[in-house]
Structure 1
Amino acid sequence: MENGAIKDEDITASSSFDSGNVGPQHGRIRTENNGGAWCPQKQATTEPEEWLQIDLKTVHVITATGTQGRFGNGQGVEYAEAYVLEYWRPRIGKWTRYHNSKGEEVLKGNMNTYLEFKQELDPPIWASKFRFYPYSYHKRTVCLRVELYGCKWTDGIVSYTMPQGDKRGPNWEFYDSAYDGPWDGHELKHGLGQLIDGKYGRDDFRDVYGGQAWVGWKNDTRTNKPLEIKFEFDKVREFSATHIFCNNLFTKDVQIFSSAKLLFSIGGKRFNRGEPISFEYMEDRIFENARNITIKLHHRIGKFVKIQLYFAARWMLISEINFDSIVAHGNFTPEPEPTTISPVKAQDKNQNEHKIEIPLHNNKFNDYLAVIVIGLIAIILLLGVVIFLTINRFRNRKFLRSPNSSNIGFPDNTLPHLQTDSVFNTTEKGSGIEAYGVTDIDECRRSHGSLKSSLRSTLPLPHPGLDHLQESNEYQEPYQALKYAPYYSYSSVVMEMQDILMNSNKKFAATQSDAYDYAIPEAGTLPLLASEKATLPLTRSRGSSITSKSARYSSPRNSHSSTPTQQEALTALRKRLEDSTLPEFPRHRLRMLSKLSEGAFGTVYIAEADGIAEYSSALTLGTRLVAIKFLGENASDKERKDFYRDVRILAALEDHNIARVLGICTKDEPLCVVMEYLDHGDLCQFLKSHVSENTSTILYGVKTLSFNCLLYMGAQIASGMRYLESLNFVHRDLATRNCLVGKAYHIKICDFGTYNELYASDYYKVDGITPLPIRWMAWESVYQGKYTTKSDVWAFAVTLWEILTLCRRIPYDGLGDPNIMENLAHMHCDDGQFMFLPRPVSNKDINDLMLECWRRKDLERPSFTEIHLFLQRKNLGYAPT
């Protein structure tokens, strides 16, 4: 008011004694214009009628008010000894009388005409309009000057709705006493109160110095049911985190919530916008201090947020809840109402229809219906018999017997086997890993300076046979040699099919050969498309086939008939590139839900696509989840050509366990590609929300996963990698964060987790610039810059370890990133001190498989074909439910 930020036209009054001299525009504190204050026509009483109104236009949080009387250059004697405040907020839609934390409505005013009296407001007020009502205990003439202390409310919270707090004994009421919305029984609706007032409770809730800052609920009437709080915001927002300040005085039956679930909505009626965020809190019965619990929200989008908190003890006390968010840009529509008729309504409808008399000749319909039902039952029984006979037949086949049998499977004497006990202790030499071109361990150590003399020693070295690319930063990228597609880095398919790509779309065709410089095939790799009649080994890496030592996992001779050779797979890929085109999908039929990741080459969003066709089909299944990869807005022409080229190749990949390209949007800027996304999100977060079937303590609402189910997931990843292996494509960032989970535990490999901020700690900037997933990387990839399908095999074993531990820990969680580099150096130097990951399960065959994937020599590691066959045998007969 004093500095003029509030304009005269925004200051009004119920009346003025003289609008020119003592009108509302003169009600500014510490100013002496004209009459020097606002003076109403009527005198003040204990039933105030006159008011001075201030319109702030937008919602502000006001923490104090100041008042003065009329000084009038020493001539004024009018002041208000008390006053009442009312405020108006758009969400409430009416004037509300303010009362402080003590329940007092009448606030203290001035005792003279010249000094300001500043009144702290506890709780503060969230409002866009304010009214000051002069109040007097006896009838008197008053004049008033006022000031507001506060700031614009930028958090965006309009209201929150929740159950009112509970009473604890005769002396403790954990009510939200500051709540200004209506109370509907025990429910608080559409108001604001203590949960966002900025005041934090003390460790001991019995210490009420400064007022009771805790709102509390007891679990007596909410057994196994969560506390639900719904927040409404001013606009659609993008959320990165929420912070909940909780009490943990467990000696008094008060604990932090055991788990939380957060749901998002645009319209506020249906909270089905994307998968809910699930969070589990580890119980703390050691420290009783109150604390902030931070939950990452991963850029979810919504105007409404529903928080469900599950009790860990009899009482749960919360002092503050706030959000980190920004206003989201774009067109957002409320979630549609379901169109299907509920079973109850349908049943009532059928009952009403049955009341109508049906003519007797309609009995023929019942006869037809009985025949149809009998026929369906017969078909079902027949299918059951066929399935049973098929399973029984496969069980009796020789190549599907138990791997532990004496004559069939994976005999231990066919492979130099790692001794499990000595390997996991990691302190003994002679683990069975042979030296790889290093004969003097001390010389190896000296050459690296014990990994501490120079950070340069930790950088990936140039790839053998590619000296002309040593200065190329693009080639040195750790897991995406081709920027926009994850699955290939050394395959010759790009060079072989360059003409096809150039002719497929003149707009995006590459006109210079240097656009493909970082897709040159590996040195020593034979041309894969030279002859359709050529027969290459199923898993050729760096020009060498798997030796007989890998016979433990080798398939029977006749199994090659069901698995296409590398030549056949590449021929099929080439044909798809020639015959197929990328379908254009209208961008207006994409509804963005949340940001998934953001990297140097663009942003990935989760979205809903309306009417997008299934892969290689014209069939549409209504609305489905997709991932949208946007090219950066400032992309150069070369980057646009690379983007289109990479997407074309990615669209030609065809495997049940690979995330596929569904369409592309090129008519509007920026360019984007539409890819498959599955209902349950990435595998890492999915596993964290489940527990093993062997877990002794089962949390309410948390599902269990069996060992066979986990192997089933691992086998699917091996199957997808087997397909990439058949094309000699290298993924370079295989991990659970880069796998998607759908219905019936269906897994698809992707790369959406690479730049997700949720997994930023999984990457280590070895040179200070390039982040590397070193906890998943083979030693030769880190120290020689060598990425092959065998380095993917190493990463697969780490991924399988993640799956079997349900992602409860990151690999080598007890070691820092520099220690991981030093550990990999032990494998590089072959000094017998390499520390393997601990056993994830007690199953010896699975542990041995992982150890063989971590062999020092890459050629001694099994292929994905062999790994997939082995996991299938181990999991024979399992079917997801």
Structure 2
Amino acid sequence: SEVNRLVESTSVCRYPLGMSGGQIQDEDISASSQWSETTAARYGRLDFEEGDGAWCPEMSVEPDNVKEFLQIDLRSLHFITLVGTQGRHAGGMGNEFAQMYKIKYSRDGSRWISWRNRQGKQVIEGNRNAYDIVLKDLEPPIIARFVRFMPVTDHSMNVCMRVELYGCEWLDGLVSYNAPVGEQMTLPTYPVYLNDSVYDGAIIYSMTEGLGQLTDGVCGLDDFALSHVYNVWPGYDYVGWNNESFPSEYVEIMFEFDRIRNFTTMKVHCNNMFSWHVKTFRQVVCYFRSESDWEATPLTFSPVMDEKNPSARFVTVNLANHMASAIKCQFYFADAWMLFSEITFQSDTAMYNTTLTPPKTGLPPRLPPKNPTHKVDDSNTRILIGCLVAIIFILVAIIVIILWRQVWQKMLEKASRRMLDDELTASLSTQSETFVYNHNQSNTTSEQESNSTYERIFPLGPDYQEPSRLLSKLPEFAQSSEESGSCYQHVNGVPHYAEADIVNLQGVTGSNTYAIPAVTMDLLSGKDVAVEEFPRKLLTFKEKLGEGQFGEVHLCEAEGMQEFMNKEFLFDISEDQPVLVAVKMLRSDANKNARNDFLKEIKIMSRLKDPNIIRLLAVCIYSDPLCMITEYMENGDLNQFLSRHEPEGQLALLSNAPTVSFNNLCYMATQIASGMKYLSSLNFVHRDLATRNCLVGKNYTIKIADFGMSRNLYSGDYYRIQGRAVLPIRWMSWESILLGKFTTASDVWAFGVTLWEILNFCKEQPYSQLTDEQVIENTGEFFRDQKRQIYLPQPVLCPDSLYKIMLSCWRRNTKERPSFQEIHRALLEIQP
């Protein structure tokens, strides 16, 4: 497989850097001017409504604006892959936004560089209204400490901005590389341009004081005439040189860093298509500079040459822990051409600096210890050892304290859970003390609450916090430190993040049921709740169905429910009989964000009206704990229902087991497709479609729900990442697992797995022969699409027509998967 896929994905390097989260301090946000004190730079934080709701410059912005900007100081170099912008909404009082903007950046605070995309365009499309968040990929990404957002208009107008930067810290510490300009290769069919087209330094006869394609995170393909990036020229991913231009037989590249570092390795991604006279370098000679002078003795390294495998690869050069702030390497030709696409360094920051000002960066000095010296006297060795031993003892003590606190917290949590269960039985059976929920009071909750762990992770969904943990399971995305580099893969032009206009509501059970477009949510939740308050005393606790971080789900009997329901609900039960319901209850100690999400979920659920979607019947929101009461089907979930049944046939007759006919299996699958067709028509993304989340009523009626994740019964269906992100990986599409991308197309994938469960009577887990890690590795095979991926096998009862529907749901390309409308129509045709 191609080496460029054997590396860490930059989809991981997309974390918010602190404008919305508050990690970036007010003093690090500045601007060219401000409209008023309440629209100063510090109010330009994405998704914040403080002050007058945004940063606004003093005057209206003119066309070709060159003076108005919002500036962010990240305090250190960062690899920035994504930016987000928003206008000034101010609760409906504002309507200023930037329709276009430019970005300038700097690594040292003195030299500013205008960002351009891979086609050379500077202007970025911004917002179309004052409230939506618009995310834009930076292609290429930038390496900078300072970033400026500069609004652009085609006529004089008032603009305001709220912004966020996404990326991660630039661990290489590289601030520039100087190299000869790349050259043009002429193939029999067309020319191949091997220049560094995104280099941000000076380019005349050589490239000086800049960074470019050798640090943009993109590794070139095996065939250098192709490119990951569309609409660019052949050879775009590589920088290359011909030996005829270098009488000395080597190409010299100098690398300068932010400070003195202890270098362990250098990894150079090289092309090796020897049939076109392109090979990796045969030898590299590196010189090191820690202060002002270059060391006299260089380091020499000769890699093993490979004339059998033409694949591009990383060549790892051992730098033997040399201390340096600059490295100069001479790469010797092994053939006519030498092509590099990426160079990365692994190092530790030196324990001392001999200069207060790092070379050529202008970054704030990192103060050295008193009396710095390159050599440690023998007389100081004992002191050094004593300090290290003391540090070790302190660390051990800290670890013991942390472990003790965790054990103690778990004991308290178990005790509180038991108390909550006892209290719940009483509270559902008796009238609770009246406490009118005041939405305005909830807005005055302390700042400490608002910074709780319930904050939305953006742009990745809250149930997908650490894709790096999954990517590291794939050899294509992670290697040992001896082999890996730091490139990322473009996949069919698909963005590596959840869509910007999606709002995720995390249910009280911890399961992200619906990912809702912001516009749709505004339309649905903008009205009053269309359900009535239900008396708690009429609820009788039966059993706990599940629990999550912020609440619980209980099976209850509701007396007199018919009196509170409108005519749309038909109960096949007399009025004096209790109705079986599910009660989602928010814990009374839930924070402000959880309460707000709960109320939004109530509003949205009250508008979902489809015969195959669980309906919201009533609410209890006039007192704590807040509750929503939904339908519950008497036959439980579809997984348990089918596992208790057998297909019609001789085996069922011998075992005297209850049966379900093939026609009824198709009928249930058709209902699930119908419910998902309704959700997809509203652009809702379920994210966890499976038989465990489908409830069964009389006459094989099916309704889609969202209780599965919260139940201990199904804990084995979810893959847990260090106790944090919980993912139903056996039902998830490859792009959801690897890219964190959830769409209706990924729900279609999950429907195919759900259909497979149904035809197997839920007797086994999908991919039961594979471990969780092997399931993740299999998604890598779907990603590579080299015909080595493993599909779920055709069930015994499944005709070819149904299995074709399943296979169509698992197509690699999301656009080639059928819609739920097409699936529903196909299932109707199959039904007898």
> Do Structure 1 and Structure 2 share a fold, with TM-score over 0.5?
no
Normalised-by-shorter TM-score class: 0.3 to 0.5
TM, length-normalised to structure 1: 0.37
Q: Which of 1 and 2 has greater Rg? A: 1
TM-score by length of 2: 0.40
